[in-house]
Amino acid sequence: MTTATPPTTRPRVPLTVIGIVLPAMTSLVGILIVLPFVPARDIVVHWGTSGPDGYAPAWTFVIGMGAMGLIAPVAFGIPLLATRGELPSVLQKLLAAVSLAVSGLLAVIGVWVVLGQQQAGVVPAVWTGLVPALGVAAVLGALGWWLSPTPVAVASHARAATPLPLSPGERAVWIGRTHLATPGIVVIALLIVVTAVVAVIATAVTDGRLGALVCVPVVLLILLLTTSFWTVQADDSGLTVRSAAGWPRFHTAAVQIAEAGTTDVRVLGEFGGWGIRFGRGRRLGIVMRSGEALEVQNRDGSALVVTVDDAGTAARLLSTVAARAGSGKASPSKG
Amino acid sequence: MLLRIDPTSGEALFDQLAAAVRAEVGRGALRPGDRLPAARELAASLDINVHTVLRAYQELRDEGLVDLRRGRGAVITDQAAPPVELLAAVRTLAAEASRLGVAPATLVAMIREAYPS
ipTM confidence: 0.73
Kindly tell me if the per-residue pLDDT of A335 is higher than 80: no
Q: Longest C-alpha distance within chain B, in Å?
A: 48
Pick the residue from chain A with its C-alpha nearest to B47: A334
- Would the CB atoms of A172 and B42 count as touching at under 8 Å? no
* Phi and psi, residue B35, nearest 5°: -100, 135
What type of residue is B19? A
**Would you say residue A306 has pLDDT above 80?**
yes
pLDDT, residue A153, reads: 66
CA distance A239 to chain B (A): 11
Task: Say yes or no: A253 contacts chain B, CB-CB below 8 A.
Answer: no
Q: Spell out which residues of chain B touch residue A172, defining contact as CB-CB under 8 Å.
A: 2-5, 46
Per the CB < 8 A criterion, the answer to whether A30 and A69 are in contact is yes
Q: What is the pLDDT of residue A241?
A: 96
pLDDT band at A87 (very low <50, low <70, confident <90, very high): confident
pLDDT tier at A109, thresholds 50, 70, 90: very high
CB-nearest partner of A317 from B2, B42, B48:
B2
The top-scoring range by mean pLDDT among A70-74, A105-109, A160-164, A272-276 is A105-109
Encode burial over A283-309: b for 16+ CB neighbours within 10 A, e otherwise: bbbbbbbbbbbbbbbbeeeebbbbbbb
A chain contacts of residue B48, beta-carbon cutoff 8 Å: 171, 334-335
- Chain A residues touching B29 at Cβ < 8 A: 310, 313
pLDDT for A75:
86
Rounded to 10 deg, the angle between the A58-82 and A90-115 helix axes is 170
pLDDT of residue B50: 94
Strand pairing partners for A292?
A264
Burial degree of A167 (CB within 10 A; 0-12, 13-18, 19+): exposed
| Coil vs helix vs strand at A233 | strand
pLDDT, position B71: 77
Phi, psi at B115, each rounded to 5°: -70, 125
Cα gap B26→A114, rounded to integer Å: 67
Residue A78: band (very low, low, confident or very high) from pLDDT cuts 50, 70, 90: confident
**Per-residue confidence at A250, pLDDT binned at 50, 70, 90?**
very high
Burial A105-120 (b: 16+ CB within 10 A, else e): bbbbbbbbbbebbeee
Q: Chain B contact for A157, CB < 8 A?
A: no
- Average of per-residue pLDDT across A65-78: 88
User: What is residue A332's predicted lDDT score, i.e. its pLDDT?
Assistant: 44
* Of the candidate ranges A136-140, A160-164, A230-234, the one whose mean pLDDT is the lowest: A160-164
Q: H/E/C letters for each residue in A109-149? A: HHHHHHHCCCCCCCCCCCHHHHHHHHHHHHHHHHHHHHHCC
Q: What is the DSSP letter of B35?
A: B
State the pLDDT confidence band at A290, using cuts at 50, 70 and 90.
confident
Q: Which of these, A178, A176, A168, lies nearest to A315 by C-alpha position? A: A176
User: What pLDDT was estimated at residue A326?
Assistant: 79
CB atoms within 10 A of CB A253: 15
A177 close to A136: Cβ distance less than 8 angstroms = no
Identity of residue B25: V
A335–chain B Cβ distance below 8 A for any pair: yes
Residue A164's closest CA among B14, B27, B3, B95?
Answer: B3
Q: Which residues of B touch A310 (CB under 8 A)?
A: 1, 29
CB atoms closer than 10 angstroms to residue A169: 13
Element (H, E) at A73: helix A58-82
Mean pLDDT throughout A263-286?
Answer: 86
| CA dist., res. A219 & res. B87, Å (int) | 47
Chain B contact for A317 (CB, 8 A cutoff) = yes
- CB-based contacts of A206, cutoff 8 Å, min separation 6: none
Does the beta-carbon distance from B45 to A236 stay under 8 Å? yes
- Does residue B45 sit at the A interface (CB-CB below 8 Å)? yes
pLDDT at A120: 83
Residues of chain B whose pLDDT is less than 70? 81-83, 117
- Measured distance CA(A120)–CA(A153) in Å, rounded: 55
**Segment A8-48, tens digit of pLDDT:** 566 678 889 999 999 999 999 999 999 999 888 888 888 87
